[in-house]
Structure 1
């Protein structure tokens, strides 16, 4: 490195690495030039040096590079969702700026604007996507620091939209499964498996024979997932493998599927022996006509609500569902988690009201 006075009286700093000029900047004041030289020297020694020219790439261009780098490593749905979020919520004025010019304050202001029309949870997801984007830029030496890490989404603003769920009761699940099975005997029972294990569709279709555990107790070992039309990924949406216990009804469905199959063979396959495809499965079992207005994902919600309303604790349900936190489980299913006091209160109300035939309780008759 060197600091030298130029003919016009300014101070020029040349930064070299292994004999190559990697940065060249001019300052009016020598103290600014000295400070810049010291900063670059420290960055080179620590391996944190970032070519100033790299940071001049626009945020939009970096976004395109990042999206391209992820195309083969994440599901198509996730890739599309991230791309849509960035295109929809990243202002053109911000996107056109050099990535090195983006500050935490810019992002804080952006979150505040988004909260005028979006839920806080949506803004939080957008922040997480931005953090991944800027983190990648740091690893690629385009910038030296991720400004998202210190940014904060304000609390108490925005309108969180709770996801509406429509789980089946156990009786309904069995009835619907019977209807689907009558339509397609081999594929109909898949609904019961989904409704009693809480697996995501992509996790179920990626299960192999070796993923079925029969001792010490029946369970699925869930460690892979596969979006329709995509290769199997050795990671689940929750990010880690988990074990999901199997009720006797599920074991009765699964055991015949394992007979004569190799450990790496897929457990659930189409009549042609291929991996199940969601739209094809729905057509084969007559889902639209027979599912009573539910979505396939409501089968996962069915398992969760069956567990939580029958004494399974929140932490266990979180683990079986593969949720990242118990808070996510609680937020999704809080209105299905009745307490003992709820049950006792309802019993008292029913005792006061009498049975549904119209017979009044003694207390009500006395008041009349």
Structure 2
């Protein structure tokens, strides 16, 4: 039973005070109480507590931890479970830069779904949809971890999502084939094997940098992804189970890799693309020392912009240039090449390493639509020949 009582008293300074006390027993039969300045707030809390107790998921403020503490526990759990250094770094950034400054002092028991929804709307006015989605998902993960350790009985952010607006959805536009040829032609003998492998296999940067010779069968013309290197060059498992996959190699790449193997610097674990020190390459070094300079040499340079979209200038007042394409664009180049040659959707999903066909369809559906139109045109062109 939940009771709401009015309390009146006189403060030490002689001021008359009024408050409303909610007195109740939780789902474990333990007596609880909480005081509010207005009757309306007390009634709202009483209704909420009754519903939570009925569902067996009520947590009193006294037993609750703050969002900041819960965030630290979430990060510690990820660290203990062996998550990659880059993942832990991303968790800390989301927590320290976004979640804790806004909600850190709030007790988990005080956090409501309405507050999360309101914050989502606030985020959407100052952040991109992508970033807002990451922040809300991180908050939900924090609350899920808190549930696992018994700190709360419900996750009020579990079904609060940031939908992707159709007008914001960016279609994947793979690099022009002519631009890819320019890159290949501008590459040095040491750069060409790396660039060709990226363009023709669709491997992620991390997968390329973690690739070993034991994963390539030059006789069979196949490449198997078994590991990846994080942004610091530390080797680990693929991004997901779907990341473990075998991809066929075009004959031209087999020839290029065969030649490269003869002159590649040997390493203790047999890296295909090692650094000068014999370790896995770091992603930033690939971009800064090879990929962007290669594009500039190939005539694929664009001005480098500051946070306000203005061109950056060097000390002499000349525009600073960078490469036209992000490295991930080479992954799309591989996918678009396969699609142009009529690959089926399931095979595309496997070769590109997506966890679901839906993700593949969302990413490359507009390119596949052209393939479906080809079939339709072929049918229309010949239907008068058949009864």
TM-score normalised per structure 1: 0.67
Listed as ranges, the matches of 1:18-29 within 5 Å are none
| 1:330 and 2:361 correspond | yes
Give 1:196 shift: 0.4
Give 1:132 shift: 2.2
* Cross-structure match for 1:218: 221
Give 1:165 shift: 3.9
Give 1:193 shift: 0.4
| 1:187 and 2:219 correspond | no
The partner residue of 2:183 within 176, 180, 185 is: 176
The partner residue of 2:105 within 72, 78, 96 is: 96
| 1:110 and 2:131 correspond | no
- Distance change (3 Å), C-alpha of 1:28 and 1:110: closer
1 CA distance for matches of 2:195 and 2:74? 38
Listed as ranges, the matches of 1:1-368 within 5 Å are 32-33=24-25, 35-37=27-29, 55-70=63-78, 73-87=82-96, 89-90=98-99, 92=101, 94-116=103-125, 122-149=131-158, 151-153=159-161, 160-162=168-170, 165-169=173-177, 171-181=178-188, 185-213=189-217, 217-236=220-239, 240-257=243-260, 264-282=269-287, 283-284=289-290, 286-291=293-298, 292=300, 293-337=324-368, 338-341=370-373
1 CA distance for matches of 2:182 and 2:165? 43
Q: What are structure 2's unaligned runs of at least 5 residues?
A: 1-20, 32-55, 301-323, 381-387
* Cross-structure match for 2:11: none
Q: Greater CA deviation, 72-81 or 190-199?
A: 72-81
2 CA distance for matches of 1:290 and 1:90? 43
- Distance change (3 Å), C-alpha of 1:264 and 1:88: closer
2 CA distance for matches of 1:287 and 1:167? 15
- Distance change (3 Å), C-alpha of 1:266 and 1:230: closer
1 CA distance for matches of 2:277 and 2:94? 38
Q: What are structure 1's unaligned runs of at least 5 residues?
A: 1-26, 40-47, 349-368
- Distance change (3 Å), C-alpha of 1:231 and 1:141: farther
- Distance change (3 Å), C-alpha of 1:188 and 1:140: same
1 CA distance for matches of 2:351 and 2:261? 22
2 CA distance for matches of 1:277 and 1:124? 28
Contact 2:68–2:100, Cα closer than 8 Å, also in 1 = no
2 CA distance for matches of 1:202 and 1:256? 23
- Distance change (3 Å), C-alpha of 1:206 and 1:344: same
Q: What are the Cα deviations for residues 206-261 of structure 1, in whole angstroms up to 9, with x where unaligned?
A: 1122222457x432221322123242122326764222222222222333455696
Contact 1:244–1:320, Cα closer than 8 Å, also in 2 = yes
Contact 1:118–1:158, Cα closer than 8 Å, also in 2 = no
- Distance change (3 Å), C-alpha of 1:142 and 1:335: same
2 CA distance for matches of 1:55 and 1:257? 62
1 CA distance for matches of 2:85 and 2:176? 29
Q: Greater CA deviation, 251-260 or 319-328?
A: 251-260
TM-score normalised per structure 2: 0.64
Give 1:125 shift: 3.6
Counterpart secondary structure, 2:182: helix
- The alignment's C-alpha RMSD in Å is 4.0
Counterpart secondary structure, 1:176: helix
